Chains A and B, each alone.
Chain A
């Protein structure tokens, strides 16, 4: 019956410099594909994917954004209403790591998140397949940065050899769940009004279900 399949719907935004592999991460996660010669994303890209955690199915609505500066005005409108924000960098590109601070600020500003409020960020260091010589960002440095920014979820992935990709998204949803349950205890009303998605997400079911009714 449908009622058993009522999925929670979560909006995920993937941010990070151009070329760190945001689209590759998404494609690996959604369709388990990898294209070495993928293109720059135009503006934004959107895909759905169901993920199961502890017997519960969540539908992730993933917005992949274009990292190039010239797309800034085009991508920022999509931040609002996000449930999860994935900050990505490439471990063989130091500057992309440095920039996640900027990405975080940009997200907080345009998503209109209140200062000091906990938001489920997850930091993803992609391209873990590169050789040790090519690595520019030690895992420790990433963990330090996350600690300083009170981000508890971070992971190194490789979209190329499919390492940790599923885990990264799973980790993100779990983090969201933790924050959600805490927020519900403290002040459930705030949550209800701040975000549009969440409100109807409780009634939401995934698209595949309704097809059976026709």
Chain B
């Protein structure tokens, strides 16, 4: 049989075995009876263990898929988040306690007492101010549907003001003069102006005034020789009564002075130095605004103040001119309202108002923690917008105020972190470029100090199951964005951004003076989260019955949990962490887990392997292992654990290819040496037991029409197959151990084949002998032939079996790491063992054939003698002899394979050829 043919045959056996299994999941009676011998020992370690591993893998795939789906769902959401119109539908189940710091006893104990008192002190005053603002609402966006009455009653609720007090304060507000409002106009730029000068260009400037006070005109500078001027100049126009009916007039003119701007500009080249230049520019401007001129109007735009929203706007207006149908160009202006109020006062009032309204709204809407993300009721929104407009707060100031108030409230009632990351998006630039006053910078950092603990809390509690994946992803995304933003800023010197009281969970590495920053605290939070999680699962998986099996199962459970945690980290969080804050999240986790796991498992496993009961041989008849079930499930659990750790290690190699050699878990297999050696020892014993049973049960009938062997041969090969599957799963990492175990397995399998041959021979021993009154006779039976074929069939599989164990590969590896000589010796050893077994079994077959032939001999001899005696009278006896020989040989020819039949013929000639 050449190698290829052997391969084919070997594969056919497996396919047959597998096909049998899959066709009828209900195991055949025969199979069950065979497995009963040892409680399905080989199946448990071979195919069942593998099936289990596959199942675990499948489970993980499902989990991964769920996480991936959640991640995919979150992604498009992000677009909506920015527009602030997302209205989450919170339910209590989904509410997440994670960032509600109060539940962590991490609340800022100081609670900003001073600010609270200040609020109480000013509350009447602020209320009065709000009433006053309602009375003098500005802007087109004043909602008439809401109406003053509704606003008054909303404010009264929010401030919790009694009716009497309301009436009193209302009177005060009404008595106050109308506000000193300004309209702020920034003339930004114009485009496509119609040319007025001979050169096809214009020298445009802008004049602006209110219709109610046309005398009070404001002019911009003149931009020479352009149809697309850029001004970016600011103007503030005081608003009179009847703001709603007033109109803002914007006019664009072409400048045409006595001494043209052009001429003046010609002087530019004579001017020396920066100072001179400024002077000249000023002069040009003056010429434009006051000089005698016969300017020509390019176009104008009238903007009714009632069309301007209280929160302001930026808009392109088209320029018209009387008698001209065509457009004269477009002008871009930014318009907003403001007051001359003291800015600090306005900000403080805004912060207080925001806090009162937000608390009121949170209370009214009963919104779940961590869900509110900036959407007020129309009333609340209007009050706040009016205050911003009437106080003249800039967008940056407003954002700072919101950031502070939200951070304050967030300490006790979690708000959506999206809120903060969006505010930071707006604030980061002004903060970096010095566009924020010192007072506000201080407020910003105070608020940040309050905000950060909840951010790290999210990281620490990333594994809590009290929220769905999607929400969690979003939270983490926002946290990382926030951290990244804050990390890009420098806190004021001597500012303690990480007060000890807010971080009770931090170890500070025993260094009391440790200087924390965002990256180091993030690292702490990640490891603290991992520690907590590990502690949690080890606690949870503790079982009262601390048997070895329970301990092993416990470790398996823990590894599976850690693995799925890592899977999740890799699938989604890792990318997020790396992209946002350049932090190798999954790797950090793995490094931590693998060392903990080694600490946890190594002593236990080593101990359990050491304690494994040594098997007592008392022959193969009958079960004599003490408590076989216990030692069985112990063994199974041990290898389940082995496979779990193995998979965990593989994960690490993929995750950190550069560092995996330094991991303690890399040498995990060393914990199991004793266990594997012990298992192999038990396995031989079980195998011999099972072979005996298989031979016992064998009916000596063809397994099916296509083959010439019977059930026990298949059963024996099943054992070999299971041992092989077990070994392949072990995938033993170290070469020397691998070689030695293979040597052991091959030796054992060889012993099994020899044993099988013995048992088979013993089984057919007395078959075929018949006796009647006249003669003792032997007939070659199918059983004899099947027994011989069976033995031969098992023998044939030995060599391919050893190849499947990976013999060639391991010899090659030894050659690489040791020396070719060592490899040669190892190979010789393995080949010697196999050759021995094959020869022994072959001899067994020949022995059996000899037996057959010798059993036939007496009958033939007798027939020959009879024939010789009666030769002359009767040729019947010769016929009978020929019939006997013919019958038996044809049975042999029909039933034996060719090789064995030829062997038989040889033996016949040798035996009978003898005198």
* Chain A 161-203 interface 0/1 with B at a Cβ cutoff of 8 Å (1 = within): 0000000000000000000000000000000011010011001
A210 vs B837: C-alpha distance when bound (angstroms): 12
Contact A43 B818 (CB under 8 A): no
**8 A Cβ contacts from B728-761 to A:** 736-737, 739-741, 743-744, 747, 751, 754-755, 758
Q: Chain A residues near B460: list those with CB within 8 A.
A: none
Known A42-B822, A74-B677, A112-B614; contact A47-B737, beta-carbon cutoff 8 A = no
With a cutoff of 8 Å between Cβ atoms, the chain B residues found around residue A77 in the complex are: 677, 680-681, 744
B832 touches A213 (CB 8 A): no
Closest chain A residue to B833 by CB distance?
A46
Contact A196 B688 (CB under 8 A): yes
Separation of A199 and B688 alpha carbons in the complex (Å): 13
Contact in complex: B758, A203 (CB < 8 Å): yes
| Interface membership of chain B positions 640-679, coded 1 if the CB is closer than 8 angstroms to chain A and 0 otherwise | 0000000000000000000000000000000001101100
Contact of B681 among A80, A193, A196, A213 (CB under 8 A): A80
Q: A33 an interface residue at 8 Å Cβ cutoff? A: no
A45 proximity list for chain B (CB < 8 A): 825-826, 828-829
Residues of chain B with a CB closer than 8 A to A206's CB: 839
Contact of A74 among B736, B821, B829, B846 (CB under 8 A): B736
**Considering the chains assembled together, what is the distance between the CA atoms of A213 and B845 in angstroms?**
11
B407 at interface (Cβ–Cβ under 8 A)?
no
Question: Do residues A39 and B821 form an inter-chain contact, with CB atoms below 8 A?
Answer: yes
- Judging by beta carbons under 8 Å apart, are A42 and B832 in contact? no
Q: Return chain A residues, CB-CB under 8 Å to B739.
A: 42-43
Q: Is the CB of A112 within 8 A of B616?
A: yes
Q: Tell me the bound Cα distance from A93 to B176 in angstroms.
A: 112
- Tell me how far the C-beta of B779 lies from the nearest C-beta in chain A, rounded to whole angstroms: 25
B592 proximal to A (CB < 8 A): no
Contacts of B832 in A (CB 8 A): 46-48
Chain B residues closer than 8 Å to A78, beta-carbon distance: 743-744, 747
Interchain CB contact under 8 A, B681 and A204: no
A194 touches B758 (CB 8 A): no
B814 contacts the other chain (CB 8 A): yes
Residue among A44, A47, A74, A109 with the most chain B CB within 10 A? Answer: A74
- Distance to closest chain B CB from A213 (angstroms): 6
CB 8 Å contact bits of B616-645 with A (1 = contact, 0 = none): 111101000000000000000000000000
A44–B821 touching, CB < 8 Å: no
Q: Assess whether B267 is interfacial by the CB under 8 Å rule.
A: no
Residues of B within 8 A of A4 (CB): none
A2 at the B interface (CB under 8 A) = yes
**Given A200-B755, A207-B835, A210-B839, A39 and B736 touching (CB < 8 A)?**
no
Question: Does A102 touch B at the CB level, under 8 Å?
Answer: no
Q: Judging by beta carbons under 8 Å apart, are B843 and A204 in contact?
A: yes
Across-interface contacts of A28 in B (CB, < 8 A): none
* Closest-CB distance, B851 to chain A (whole angstroms): 11
Please give the distance in Å from B224's CB to the nearest CB on chain A: 91
Task: Known A48-B832, A213-B906; judge A43-B737 contact (CB<8 A).
Answer: yes
Selected from A42, A61, A214, the residue in CB contact (under 8 A) with B818 is A42
Q: What interface size band does chain A fall in?
A: 35 or more
CB closest residue in chain B, given A206:
B839
- Residue of B whose beta carbon sits closest to that of A75: B740
Q: How many Å lie between the Cα of A160 and that of B890 in the bound state?
A: 60
**Cβ-defined contact, B829 with A44, below 8 A:** yes
Tell me how far the C-beta of B382 lies from the nearest C-beta in chain A, rounded to whole angstroms.
Answer: 80
CA distance A196 to B614 in the complex (A): 18
Q: Which residue of B lies closest to A62 (CB)?
A: B832
B54 touches A (CB below 8 Å)? no
What's the Cα separation between A193 and B616 when bound, in Å?
12
Q: Contacts A74-B673, A193-B618 given: A44-B835 contact, CB under 8 Å?
A: no
A135 CA to B775 CA, complexed, in Å: 75
Within 8 A of B (CB), among A31-68: 39, 41-48, 61
Smallest CB-CB separation from B616: which chain A residue? A112
| A73, CB-defined interface residue at 8 Å | yes
Q: Is A126 an interface residue (CB 8 A)?
A: no
B91 within 8 A of A: no
Q: Does B474 contact A (CB under 8 A)?
A: no
Q: In this assembly, does B903 line the interface, its C-beta being within 8 Å of a C-beta of chain A?
A: yes
CA A194 to CA B617, docked complex, whole Å = 7
B840 at the binding interface (Cβ < 8 Å): yes
Is B677 in contact with A39, judged by CB distance below 8 angstroms? Answer: no
The interface residues of chain B lying within 8 Å CB-to-CB of A46 are: 743, 747, 829-830, 832-833
**B619 & A210 in contact (Cβ 8 Å cutoff):** no
In whole Å, how far is B687's beta carbon from the nearest beta carbon of chain A? 11
The reply on A205 being an interface residue by CB < 8 A is yes
**CA distance in complex: A45, B826 (Å):** 7
The residue on A at minimum CB distance from B742 is: A43
CB-CB under 8 A from B836, the residues of chain A are 48, 61, 207
The docked-state distance in angstroms from the alpha carbon of A200 to that of B843 is 12
Instruction: Evaluate contact between B818 and A112: CB separation under 8 angstroms.
Output: no
Task: For A196, list chain B residues within 8 Å (CB).
Answer: 688, 751, 755
Residue B819 CB within 8 A of the other chain: yes
B840 touches A112 (CB 8 A): no
Tell me, in angstroms, the Cα distance from A78 to B737 when the chains sit together. 13
- Check B846 against A2 for contact (C-beta < 8 Å): yes
CB of A209 within 8 Å of the partner chain: yes
- A194 to B620: give the CA distance in the assembly, Å: 9
Q: Within the complex, what minimum Cβ distance (angstroms) separates B837 from chain A?
A: 10
B842 interface hit (Cβ, 8 Å):
yes
Q: Which of B674, B680, B736, B844 contacts A43 (CB 8 A)?
A: B736
Residue B31 at the A interface, CB < 8 A? no
Residues of A within 8 A of B906 (CB): 213
Q: Residue A76 at the B interface, CB < 8 A?
A: yes
User: Who on chain B is nearest to A204 by CB?
Assistant: B840
Q: Is there an interface contact between B677 and A73, defined as CB atoms closer than 8 Å?
A: yes
Q: Contact between A42 and B677 (Cβ–Cβ < 8 Å)?
A: no
A195 to B208, CA, bound (A): 115
Mask: chain A, 65-106; 1 = CB below 8 Å from B; 0 = not: 000000101111110110000000000000000000000000
Min CB gap B321→A, angstroms = 100
B840 contacts A200, CB within 8 Å? Answer: yes
Whether B197 is near chain A, meaning CB under 8 Å from some CB there, is no
Select from chain A the residue with minimum beta-carbon distance to B835: A207
Query: Given the complex of chains A and B, what is the CA–CA distance between A45 and B674 in angstroms?
Result: 20
Q: Which residue of A lies closest to B617 (CB)?
A: A112
Nearest chain A residue, comparing its CB with the CB of B738: A43
Residue of A nearest to B609 (CB): A73
Contacts of A199 in B (CB 8 A): 758
Bound complex: CA of A80 vs CA of B682, how far in Å? Answer: 12
Bound together, the chains give a CA A112 to CA B736 distance in angstroms of: 25
Q: Tell me whether A42 and B826 are in contact (CB under 8 A).
A: yes
- A214 CA to B907 CA in the complex, in Å? 11
CB distance from A68 to the nearest CB of B (A): 10
CB distance from A106 to the nearest CB of B (A): 13
Q: Determine the residue in chain B with the shortest Cβ distance to A6.
A: B843
With CB as the reference atom, state the residue of chain A lying closest to B744: A77
B821: A residues at CB distance < 8 A: 39
Please report which residues of chain B, range 827-859, place their CB below 8 angstroms from some CB of chain A when the two chains form the complex.
Answer: 828-830, 832-833, 835-836, 839-840, 842-844, 846-847
* A196–B754 alpha-carbon span in the complex (Å): 10
* B744 and A200 within 8 A (CB): no
Q: Which of B785-831 contact A (CB under 8 A)?
A: 814, 818-819, 821-822, 825-826, 828-830
Q: How far is the CB of A119 from chain B (nearest CB, A)?
A: 15
11 contacts between A and B (CB under 8 A): A43-B739, A44-B740, A45-B828, A48-B836, A74-B736, A77-B681, A80-B617, A112-B616, A196-B688, A200-B840, A203-B843
What 16 new A-B contacts, CB under 8 Å, besides A47-B832, A77-B677, A112-B615?
A: A39-B819, A42-B814, A44-B740, A44-B829, A46-B830, A47-B829, A73-B677, A196-B755, A199-B758, A203-B843, A207-B839, A207-B840, A210-B842, A213-B846, A213-B903, A213-B906
Q: Which 4 A-B pairs have the closest CB atoms?
A: A43-B740, A207-B839, A193-B619, A73-B673
Chain B residues engaging chain A, CB cutoff 8 angstroms: 614-619, 621, 673-674, 676-677, 680-681, 688, 736-737, 739-741, 743-744, 747, 751, 754-755, 758, 814, 818-819, 821-822, 825-826, 828-830, 832-833, 835-836, 839-840, 842-844, 846-847, 903, 906
